[in-house]
Chains A and B, each alone.
Chain A
């Protein structure tokens, strides 16, 4: 990737990423730049009667239970008003399906393991939380983790 700097005193600062296509590398770079500029993408979550805005990069996974969607950070969990299928389309592609009822942030995965029955378990960086990965989705998550992490490193 070529990086160049243009000095133009008359115009406000603008950062343009000129790319032939939007791929994982571009999205990762965009996210990192937004974080640097203090403009990390955030999502609205519920805490009681109020809404709080949590950086998407802080989220470990989303899970559906009893008709509600819950979002997990390393140390807390919140209700999310959106459905899982909506989140799947809104969130970066670093969030993938781990089961019919869960999305996981593959950038925050620390370990993946699989039991004899084929059900998987994921642990996360900087958190004691764990989540299950269903048999059907395990290989897909693993492949995605390898693809993104191997190619681009952790964000």
Chain B
């Protein structure tokens, strides 16, 4: 996989989903496509679009087992409409707890059946704790790290050969990513976080020989930067 390709495709997917969601809302409001008569109000349409977007992200992340959860959400959101469509008059087709429990069981069972694997060298991490090694000399010109519901540690090799002025993009959805970097690199972090947590340690003011631009996009996950101090005397100061 080419660097950056995965980011572009996921951004386009989200963009399309959001645009389609907006168009459906407008069409519904204008009575062109009156979803309301099928029990689909604006909030359900928005939620449905969000869940479709998450499903696409999961498919792009090649983590099929996780798909059962947003699919269960979609069923619950559109259950009334489905019930109307099959002539059940909007009745509850399946108890909610059954849908949720079944989705969770299917997710866990499929996870156990499907062997875990890493999709690409700079790509998607699956759960169970994965390490990613980036070559600071070659990879940090424009590196991308993606995590969907996984747990990943990112390390830098050849730190002394890092030319400087690199760029790292971290995208995380409902996962946990820990990135280990030398304390001697000045980090410039731009962060976009929704319902998650991003921790960047404070760096002392001063001159740094090398810098790294970092962009973090996190949704309901956790991204931690750990600065490895190679000079204990400096830390004591």
Q: Which residues of A contact B (CB under 8 A)?
A: 47-48, 63, 65-66, 68, 70, 72, 74-79, 119, 127-130, 132
Contacts and interface: CB of A to CB of B under 8 A. Distances in A.
A72 B155 contact: yes
Nearest to A64: B131
Given A66-B121, A74-B228, 18 more contacts: A47-B160, A48-B158, A48-B160, A48-B161, A65-B131, A66-B133, A70-B155, A75-B228, A75-B230, A76-B182, A76-B230, A77-B133, A77-B156, A77-B157, A119-B128, A127-B228, A128-B226, A130-B153
B37 interface: no
Contacts of A66: 118, 121, 133
Contacts of A72: 155
A59 B60 CA distance: 37
Contacts of A127: 228
In terms of DSSP, what is the predominant structure of the interface of chain B? strand
A68 B157 CA distance: 12
Interface string B112-138: 000000100100000011111100010
A65 B182 contact: no
B188 interface: no
B133 A70 contact: yes
B138 to A, nearest CB: 9
Contacts of B130: 65
Contacts of A130: 153, 178
Given A47-B158, A77-B156, A78-B157, A128 B228 contact: yes
